[in-house]
Amino acid sequence: MSHAGRSGGRTARVVVVGAGMVGHRFVDELSRLAPDVDITLLGEEPYQPYSRVLLTELIAGRVDLAGLSLPTTDGSRVRMELGVAVIEIDRERRCVVTTQGEHPYDHLVLATGARGRIPLLPGLRDGLPRGAHVLRTLDDARDISAGALNVDHAVVVGSGPLGVELACGLRRRGVAVTVLSSAPHLLDRALDPGAGRIAQGAAEGLGIEVVSAVQIAAVGVSDGRVTAVRLRDGVSYPAGLVVLAAGTTPETGLARAAGLETNVGIVVGDGLRTTLDRRIAAIGDCAETPAGISGLVAPGWAQARALARSIALDVPVELPAVSGSAMSLKAAGLSVVTMGDRSTTAHEGDRVVSLADPQVHRHVELVTRGDTLAGFTCVGAPELAAHLSTQFDRPGLLPEDPLHLLAGSGSARPPAASPTAMPAATTVCRCNGVTKGDLVAAWDEGSTTVDSLAAATAATTGCGGCRELVCGLVDWLERSDPHAASQSAPTTRETSVPTG
């Protein structure tokens, strides 16, 4: 029996507010770890839990709707209420009140996430006009996809990962896309300026217009529909579709109303419990931990797992140490992967190796610290990025010269074996361990055809893969020794050995 199941001699009740990826993961983990806990999952959207991070892929048409659904939780163990709004948390009575009813709890987990930030701009102040969207929910993604069918031009406001993925997705649908951003360059939180410029070049190569370091003055609206985005300098970008990807705001309203400590997010300690009420925890995008707000799914999942273990097994929350940030763009045609430190965040004494190859929109940068890869940036180098991800933060593995890391795990292929150049000890037939020397000796003994060499040495009689090479050897021997079949004495022949 788990710890959580012993609460007051009856089955412990755990209520989770928020059925996004992190809330779902928490419920999934807890239901496995603590089979005797009574779990309620409350979701605001009317849909089964889905993979929110794939919404831009949905817009790009690289995932269909069914491909977003997350695993079902055990229906006999987890009560799920979807499409319900939580009205308040009654901490006195330990009870969550929704539009549908009440849910008493022993443990309450807030996984309310964040909402897309809407800039305070003329045109957006009275709610979003038609054609303007944030991208947070499945409905948002559907609206954006539908909107993309009817417009020629779209503007994406913001050049963080969401903005870039969105722009690539819309471009893949054939829409002309302009990215407007106040940031100095694309993905500026993850990339240094040099890498950012190359990423920008790659985006432009896909046909996306990127306009950085600009101040947006207003969103033009006519008849309740967006028409354009205007900059402070007066330039105007016409757009039938405007998507705001200008950051998110943690959903803290419920927590604040319940008297819990909030700052940017809901303030929690190392144990993910709120500072004022140990029975209430917060995880995911709404939680402000001592290390900050994660904003990414991987750390949110790590929090979900750690909290589930803590509640089920009565152990302290153990979060994996996170060193630096990690970002991996999901966008067709634009590969950007970063982990850990980069040149502007590198420590004193670190080595920074970088390679810029703007012509093909490629930029690679490594940060090494002692015998460890402490960070990397890969733009336009997905194979290398995948390899470096597996070498990151692994003491003892770094090659002495970090430059060698740039070669990835692959290796240059040796040229195809030539019968003339190979040394006598080279194995020709692997299956039967026959060397070139063995075959030459058999030739000298009078086996001067492929078949007779096979009979004499067993070469070619395994998988047959060396047959071509043996044929080549026979050709070479015939050229250098045309009368061998009629002679019995060994002859000499030239073997050229490549140098260097």
C-alpha radius of gyration, the chain, whole number: 32
We find the least distance from the C-beta atom of residue 208 to other proteins, in angstroms, to be 19
Q: Read off φ and ψ for residue 181, nearest 5 degrees.
A: -150, 145
Structure letter (DSSP) for residue 356: E
We find the least distance from the C-beta atom of residue 157 to other proteins, in angstroms, to be 24
- Retrieve residue 169's tokens: 């997705």
We find the least distance from the C-beta atom of residue 117 to other proteins, in angstroms, to be 25
Binding site for other proteins (CB under 8 A): 50-51, 53-54, 57, 62-64, 66-72, 326, 328-330, 335, 337, 371, 382-383, 385-387, 389-391, 394-400, 404, 409-413, 416, 430-433, 458, 461-465
Q: 67 vs 259, which CB is nearer to other proteins?
A: 67
Q: 141 vs 255, which CB is nearer to other proteins?
A: 141
Q: 85 vs 355, which CB is nearer to other proteins?
A: 355
- Retrieve residue 14's tokens: 């755990």
C-beta separation of 301 from 283 below 8 A:
no
Q: 6 vs 189, which CB is nearer to other proteins?
A: 189
- Long-range contacts at 266-274 (CB < 8 A, ≥ 24 apart): 266/110, 270/317, 270/319, 271/310, 271/316, 271/317, 272/303, 272/306, 272/307, 272/310, 272/317, 274/110
We find the least distance from the C-beta atom of residue 255 to other proteins, in angstroms, to be 27
We find the least distance from the C-beta atom of residue 383 to other proteins, in angstroms, to be 4
We find the least distance from the C-beta atom of residue 433 to other proteins, in angstroms, to be 5
- Retrieve residue 479's tokens: 């050229």
We find the least distance from the C-beta atom of residue 199 to other proteins, in angstroms, to be 15
Cβ neighbour number for residue 256 with a 10 Å cutoff: 11
We find the least distance from the C-beta atom of residue 13 to other proteins, in angstroms, to be 26
Q: 129 vs 284, which CB is nearer to other proteins?
A: 284
Class of residue 146 by CB neighbours under 10 A (exposed 0-12, middle 13-18, buried 19+) = exposed
Q: 92 vs 400, which CB is nearer to other proteins?
A: 400
Class of residue 126 by CB neighbours under 10 A (exposed 0-12, middle 13-18, buried 19+) = exposed
CA distance 16 to 36: 16
Which H or E run contains 424? none
Q: 13 vs 25, which CB is nearer to other proteins?
A: 25
Q: 67 vs 423, which CB is nearer to other proteins?
A: 67
We find the least distance from the C-beta atom of residue 173 to other proteins, in angstroms, to be 15
Q: 290 vs 410, which CB is nearer to other proteins?
A: 410
CA nearest to 14, candidates 87, 74, 99, 96 = 96
CA distance 314 to 2: 8
Torsion of CA 284, 286, 290, 292, to 10 degrees: 90
